[in-house]
Amino acid sequence: MSTSRISKFIYLFIISIVLNATLHAEQMVEDKGYQFHYNVFNSSMLTPEIATQYGIERSKTLGVINISVLKSTVPMNALVLGEARNPIAQLTTLKFKKITEETAIYYIATFNFADTEQLDFKISVVPDGKTSASKFEFKQQMFVD
């Protein structure tokens, strides 16, 4: 993998963490010996190059959810499923895309939202080699930038 591509992905991840840190403390759930780190941000925050590289549309009303699965600080492969529900009960099934960069593994999905909308996320993760899912839920208010 090229150094440029790795640098761009690291930039994407750092931006998502920094943007999220301004709104929330670290977002992480622990279950069954695994850590599930997650963050949500507006796709318009991505540079055009990063968005193109990972096939993400840049839009003021398109959000990105990023999930990583760790066991003792080691990134893990997993089946990641999820959904986002808005206040009027409209459901979006999240279609996660696996991104692997050297030793990092991320699962990214996009979703539409309206300004100031609070979304309820339900996530289910089955790490490789396991048969049962770890499930967690969280709420995130989204803003058009």
In the chain, what are the domain boundaries?
A: 3-141
Across the range 113-138, mean pLDDT stands at 96
The reported pLDDT for the residue numbered 23 is 45
Cα 16 to the center of its chain, rounded Å? 9
Token output for 1: 């993998």
Q: Residue 122, class by beta-carbon neighbours within 10 Å (0-12 exposed, 13-18 middle, 19+ buried)?
A: middle
Position 54 pLDDT exceeds 70: yes
Across the range 91-113, mean pLDDT stands at 95
The reported pLDDT for the residue numbered 128 is 95
The reported pLDDT for the residue numbered 130 is 93
**Averaged confidence pLDDT in the chain:** 88
pLDDT in tens, 55-76: 999 999 999 999 999 999 999 9
Across the range 128-135, mean pLDDT stands at 95
Position 139 pLDDT exceeds 70: yes
The reported pLDDT for the residue numbered 103 is 87
The structural architecture, per CATH, of the domain 3-141 is: Sandwich (2.60)
pLDDT in tens, 7-48: 555 555 555 554 444 444 569 999 999 999 999 999 999 999
- Name the pLDDT band for 90 (thresholds 50, 70, 90): very high
Token output for 144: 């058009």
CA distance 77 to 68: 9
Q: Which residues pair with 67 in a beta bridge?
A: 38, 107
Alpha helices for 24-116 (secondary structure H): 48-53
CA distance 107 to 137: 16
